[in-house]
Each structure stands twice: as structure tokens, then as C-alpha cells.
A and B are shown apart, each in its own frame.
Chain A
């Protein structure tokens, strides 16, 4: 049986992106929040811009 190979991390692998992101964790959280913001925006778009649901499309 083969063991799970461990990625051979070295200190430079832990370098954060820089700027406002002090760690990899902070940029991951930022991206996750961005993903949620996109979903919320699209839910708003669906609710606010579609008037067809109110009139019975094709009737």
C-alpha cells in the first residue's frame, strides 16, 4: 500500500499574496465572500428585473 504523498512545502510556499492580504487564509476568505456577493446579486436580479412572473407569460 502506498501512503498519501505529502506535498513537500517549504517556507516560500507560505508567502501571502501581499498588499491587503497578510496570509493565504485572508485571500481565500475574500474570494469566498466575493462568490457569495455574486450569488446575492443574481438573486436580486432575478427578483427585481423579471416582470413576466407577475403577468402570466404568453397568456
Chain B
């Protein structure tokens, strides 16, 4: 980064943080801190709902996934518009009218205190780890740019974000998210524009799309039924529906957002807004990855995108092996570039000969094999698997973006992560304080006391997330890791809510046992089968609903108080 980039980066961050703090000046007490005095407009909440889900991970992990894997991941998002409708019709009226602080509070009204505590605990368990991953994401960007070890960049990220979160409330979080989301739209547009502008003379968008099509990178829909396949239309529509119902309907980090609306109408509109915008946005972000795949047919990519890993290898006794692979990689890439240019010439004159397409496909495979060999050396030297999916886009940005815009894009990634982290920490804090501390330990505290405890809880969760962030780099694609961690608990929590909404006869202890059974089943599936993570959510819901309903008919319901 140049001095201009650092200037843009610093100015942008300072502006966003100043704006957030200014917006939060009217917050009063716990309701102000956690719910913004229930006065936020729907469009701001809608953008915040999107920004919370689409943090820095979206920019880094999803673009990297598009580069290596094509468009397939978009199938996960296809049910989102339908899930938003279900949430608006079924969930929002229950939550909004009850005037809750946390989603889990509702389950005490409907069932009993232990069911509320269990679901809140499961949320804390899943979200604390997920927050660690979100904290890790921008740290790797800085790691790539500055050449620092990830531990240093994660530490800096944690200190800054936790400090800001402890001071700011939900109002600051939502207004920050609004700015971040608008910046993300700008960033997506700029990335696409500059990638297309960076293609060589005579190479058009249609040519780039064709080059990606040879490796089937545009394969967005897979109608296969293999349950072990990570992404199919069926796992996307079925598993994704449950994932989004869980995430937007039973995860405090999202429910807390639409509880800040000043009417139920605004709560609903914020979710529906998300339903319209999300799928096109994911198509665009994955499309950036696929375009990058085509772009790197003309420009030579690094054999391994993680610079820090390469430096470690070059200081080891495997340096010569790595250099030999890099040399072969360069030669093969040059040959592939010649093939690509020949194909583009042929496209200008008519149909492309089949042999040329086959040559290109074979060269793509050869380069992929060389990259695998290089990664194996990295893994051998470092003693852990190498996965550079999350380094692809940052490397592209810093190498090919113009001066000034690099700083702006990095600031967007960095600040988007900060706004998501403080959203998560605020949610973790509200669940800890409201569902546990105030519910079980101190029911008669003052507003000032609960605010102090909330800030302490935020600090504690921040430190735990920091510890998890230090391990997150070994988990593969970041976006996938977050969803996997969440899916361990989401199905069981959602099952608890559906039991509450849909089964009139359901009552406390059967619901409690059902939720525990669902969680245990998902854990067993995770540890002992290869079933894709998108299926964990429906499995969890099914077990909770089945066990909870059956036991509700077998076990005697509790006597009503005063009956």
C-alpha cells in the first residue's frame, strides 16, 4: 500500500467510527444499548441485516470460493427470499409483540426458564466460535499486505474491535452497518469494473466468460442427489431454508436487529428488503471470483496465494523443491496463455476447434496439480494443511487495483468486519446478561449496573473470540467454516422455536429434552458421517420436533400457576 492508500484507509475508518459514535449518543440504559430504544428505520435495519451476514468474510471467503469452486456456493442462498417470507409471517409477530430483549426470552414465556437457558447457551456456543472466524478474516488481509504474521494482525484487530464494541451500542452498530453495506455495493461494482478493464486488449467479457466456462466455473445449479455433495439444488433449497430460518429467526445477532424497529411493519420490511437484495449480491460476489479465474489466465497468479506461507517454505530445506514447481508453473502458465489467446482469435473468426478447448482444459488441470504439489510442500513444512482460498482476492486487490482504491477496498473489508464483530459481540453480551445474569443471578440491579455488566460481558466474549480466531486459519474457506459452526446448533434452536409456534400441546420438559436430543444427533452426524453441513439443520429440526412432540403427548403437562 502507498501513503495515499494508508491515508484513505485511516480517514475512512475514522469517519465511520466517528459517525457511529455520534449516532449512538441518544442511547439510554440497557434498552438503548441493546435495542436502540426501538426506534430504528426499516431501511437501516435491512442494510444492517445484510451487513451483519455479509461481513469481510463475504468479500474474502466467497470470492476465493468463486475462484476455486465456481458459482456452486450460490445454491445455498436460493431459499433466502422464501425464508424471509416465512419469517415475516410466522416469527416476527411473536417476537415483536412480546417486546423481548432476546429471542430466547420468548421460550421462557412459552415453555420454561430451563428451555430459554438451553437455547441461549447453544447460541452462545455456536456464535462465540463464529465470531472468532469473523475476527480472523480482516486480519489475513493485513497479513498479506504488510507481510506480518497472522497472530500479530489478529491481535491488533481484536484490541481495536473489542475496544470499540464495549463503548458503542446497537445504534452505533446499525448505522455503521449502513455505511459498510453501501461501501460493499461500491466495492463489488469497482471490483467487477477493474477486473474487466484489466483484461488484455482484444479480450472481452464474453471471452473471459467463455474461458471460465471451459472449466465449468459457471455451474451454479447441480441437480444431483448425493447427500455427501456439499452443494446441490436440493441441499441448497432444503438445508438452506432451515439454515436461514435458524439464522434470521433464532440467532440473537439477527433477531436483535429487527427488534430495534419502531413497528412490526418496519421489522417485516427490513427482512423483506434483505430477501430482494441478497441473492443478486451473492451472484455478483461469486461472479468476481469466477472473473478472477479468467483474469489469471492472462496474468500469472502466485502458485500459492498466501505470501506468509511461501516465505516460511523459502527459508526451509524444501525451498529448492518449491522453486522447481514454481518454475514449471510459470512455463505451463505461459503455454496456457498462448492457448487462450489462440482460442480468442478462433472465437473472433468462428467456432473454436475442440482440440484447443481440450488443450486448455488439460493445461488448467496441470496447473491445478502443480498448485496441489506446492501446497503439499507448504503443509509438510508448516505441519498443517495449507488452504489459500481466503488470500486470492486480497492478493488480486493489492496487485492490480489503482493507488487510493486499494486503501478504500481494504478499509471496506476491515470496517465491514468490525461492524459484524461488534454486532456479534453485542448479541453475545445481550444473551449473557439478559438470559443468564439478570435471569438467574441479579434481578434487581440498576440500569447502570446492567450496562457495566454488559460491557464486561462484551470484553469477555471478545477475548474468547480472539482465542478462537488464532485457530481459524486451519479450517479452510472462512464463509463455509462460519456456516458449519453455526449449523451445529442452529437446527436444534430453530426446532425449539417451531415447536413453540406450531405444536399447541408442546410444553417445557419435552421441549428441553427434544432440543438436547437434536443437538446430540447433529454432533453425532458431524463426528461419524460425511453428510454435508447444510443437512445438519433439517436433521436437528426434525429430531427436536419429533422428540419434543412425542414426549409432550406422553409426559404430563405442568400445572399452571394459580390454576
Interface set of A (CB-CB < 8 Å, partner B): 1-5, 7-9, 12-13, 15, 17, 24, 27-28, 31-32, 34-35, 38-39, 41-43, 45-46, 49-53, 55-59
- Interface size classification for chain B: 35 or more
A51 lies within 8 A of B214 (CB): yes
A41–B97 Cα gap in the complex (Å)? 38
A55 touches B218 (CB 8 A): no
Q: Are B279 and A5 in contact (CB under 8 A)?
A: no
Question: B280's contact among A8, A38, A43, by CB below 8 Å, is which?
Answer: A38
Report yes or no: B269 in contact with A17, Cβ–Cβ below 8 A. Answer: yes
Measured between alpha carbons, how far is A39 from B263 in the docked complex, in Å?
A: 32
Q: Contact between A38 and B265 (Cβ–Cβ < 8 Å)?
A: no
Is B283 part of the contact surface with A, judged by Cβ < 8 Å? yes
Contacts of B505 in A (CB 8 A): 1
A-contacting residues, B166-218, CB 8 Å: 209-210, 212-218
The CA-CA distance from A57 to B359 in the complex, in Å, is: 10
Chain B interface residues toward A at CB < 8 A: 71, 74-75, 78-82, 84-85, 88-89, 93-94, 96-98, 109-111, 209-210, 212-221, 263-265, 268-269, 272, 275-276, 279-280, 283, 354, 357-358, 361-362, 364-365, 500-502, 504-505, 507-508, 557-558, 560
Pick the residue among A2, A41, A55, A59 that contacts B110 (CB under 8 A): A2
Contact across chains for A9 and B97 when beta carbons are under 8 A apart: yes
Contact across chains for A1 and B218 when beta carbons are under 8 A apart? no
Instruction: Verify B218–A7 contact, CB threshold 8 A.
Output: no
Nearest 4 pairs of A and B residues by beta carbon: A7-B93, A1-B557, A35-B81, A49-B218
Choose among A5, A8, A58 the residue that contacts B361 (Cβ–Cβ < 8 A).
A58
**Pairwise interchain contact A45-B558, C-beta atoms closer than 8 A:** no
The A-B contact count (CB < 8 A) is: 130
Q: Is the CB of B272 within 8 A of A51?
A: no
Q: How far is the CA of A55 from the CA of B508 in the complex (A)?
A: 59
Minimum C-beta distance from A12 to chain B (A)? 7
| B93: chain A residues within 8 A (beta carbon) | 7, 9, 13
- B contacts with A: majority SS: helix
Partner of A59, one of B79, B213, B358: B358
| Chain B residue contacts of A27, Cβ below 8 A | 272
Q: Which residues of B have CB within 8 Å of A8? A: 97
Closest A residue to B361 using CB positions: A57
Given contacts A49-B213, A57-B215, contact A35 B78 (CB under 8 A): yes
Nearest neighbor of A33 in chain B, beta-carbon distance? B81
- Hey, which chain A residues are within 8 Å of B88, CB to CB? 24, 28
CB of A53, distance to nearest CB on chain B (Å):
6
Supply 17 further A-B pairs (C-beta < 8 A) apart from A38-B280, A45-B71: A1-B557, A5-B94, A7-B96, A12-B265, A13-B263, A28-B88, A31-B84, A32-B82, A34-B81, A35-B79, A35-B82, A42-B75, A43-B221, A45-B218, A51-B210, A52-B215, A57-B361
Interfacial chain B residues near A58, Cβ < 8 Å: 361-362, 364-365
Report A-chain residues with C-beta under 8 Å of the C-beta of B219: 46, 50
Beta-carbon contact of A55 and B269 below 8 Å: no
User: Which of B96, B216, B279 interacts with A38 by CB under 8 Å?
Assistant: B279
> Per a CB cutoff under 8 Å, which of A3, A32, A51, A57 touches B81?
A32
Are B272 and A31 closer than 8 Å at their CB atoms? Answer: yes
- The answer, among B209, B275, B358, for a CB contact under 8 Å with A55, is B358
CB-CB under 8 A from A55, the residues of chain B are 214, 354, 357-358, 361
Name which residue of chain A comes closest to B504, CB basis.
Answer: A4
Residues of B with C-beta under 8 A to A49: 209-210, 212-213, 218
Closest to A56 in B: B358
Q: Is the CB of B283 within 8 A of A42?
A: yes
Assembly CA distance A38 to B240 (angstroms):
15
Residues on B with beta carbons closer than 8 Å to the beta carbon of A17: 265, 269, 272
Contact of B85 among A32, A43, A51, A52 (CB under 8 A): A32
Candidates B78, B268, B560; contact of A24 at CB < 8 Å: B268
Complex alpha-carbon distance, A50 and B96, angstroms: 46
Q: Which of B214, B221, B272, B504 contacts A46 (CB 8 A)?
A: B221
Known A-B contacts A17-B269, A58-B362; the reply to A5 vs B78 at CB < 8 A is: no
Task: Give the residues in chain A near B81, CB-CB below 8 Å.
Answer: 31-32, 34-35, 38
Q: What A residues does B279 contact at CB under 8 A? A: 35, 38
